[in-house]
Structure 1
Amino acid sequence: MSKSVLALGLDPVFADFSEFPELTPDLVKAFIDAQLERLRGMGHVVESCLVDAGETAEAVAAQHLQRGSFDCVMIGAGLRTPSLLLLFEKLINVVHERAPDAKICFNSTPADTAEAVMRWT
């Protein structure tokens, strides 16, 4: 039986790559897309939700969560940086409110999203 997954992450165009000059928004987006395709190949139904650094992030996440029920919400590492702590807390509370039965998981990089989801689905 396929599991539904919401992949909630910071849109790479809003990420600070100053500590990782080898990364670019396009490269990170390619990693994200590859991982989501990998999950789909494993039979999961995956919806991507990339948000900004705070202006509309809560509303966008809430809209995605209203579209259906999710078995798992994967929250990307970019949202868990110290500078985005308040946004991270707000998004956790939106997920908790809108998807109370969903498992929550976290990746450590855009390249290990599938492993994070597989721990909980």
Structure 2
Amino acid sequence: MTDVLVIGFDPHTIPGYDPEPVAAAIAQGSRRFAELGLAEDLFLIDFDELDGRAQAKLTEKLGSKPYDVVVVGGGIRKGPGLLELFQAVVNEVHWHQPAAALAFNDSAGDSADWVLKALEQKRNR
């Protein structure tokens, strides 16, 4: 079984944001993981915990078991003012899951496709 950790924002915690489209895409992505036989763990960051609590929870999650691939969601990479968080997330993954491939998605619904590409790259190296 391939273990995948998907890191993103909990869309229900982002102020002034309609969470439904992202929540639907997350559900679609989870169905796709299941269809492909990939074991998905979802780690959603509460937007109110960007004061360091989220990083501590992520560190704990990354230490809970080995992952074959870790996906860093687009909201963390693309959001204005979130470069410091993105850097912290990538470093935590690097330090705590050095054998995991990294994947980056375009949307929550296409994460599984990017995981497959990352696994192929990992096999071919």
TM-score class, shorter-chain normalisation, is 0.7 to 0.9
Contact map agreement 2:25 2:107 (CA 8 A) in 1? no
Structure whose residues are more often helix by fraction? 2
Aligned to 1:5: 4
The CA deviation at 1:68 is 0.3
Aligned to 2:32: 38
Verify: 1:59 aligned to 2:53, yes or no. no
Residue 100 of structure 2 aligns to which amino acid in structure 1?
A
Aligned to 2:83: 85
Contact map agreement 1:6 1:49 (CA 8 A) in 2? yes
Instruction: State the distance in 2 between where 1:16 and 1:111 align.
Output: 22
TM-score (norm 2): 0.83
Instruction: State the distance in 2 between where 1:27 and 1:82 align.
Output: 19
| Pair 1:103–1:16, CA change in 2 (3 A) | farther
Moved over 6 A (4+): none
| Pair 1:112–1:17, CA change in 2 (3 A) | farther
The CA deviation at 1:57 is 1.6
Q: Percent identity?
A: 31
Aligned to 1:115: 113
Alignment of 1:69-80 (within 5 A): 69-80=66-77
1:58-80 per-position Cα deviation (integer Å, ceiling 9, x unaligned): 11211211110000000100001
Contact map agreement 1:65 1:95 (CA 8 A) in 2? yes
Aligned-residue RMSD, C-alpha? 1.6
Contact map agreement 1:15 1:78 (CA 8 A) in 2? no
**Greater mean alpha carbon deviation, residues 52-61 or residues 40-49:** 52-61
Number of residue equivalences = 115
Aligned to 1:29: 23
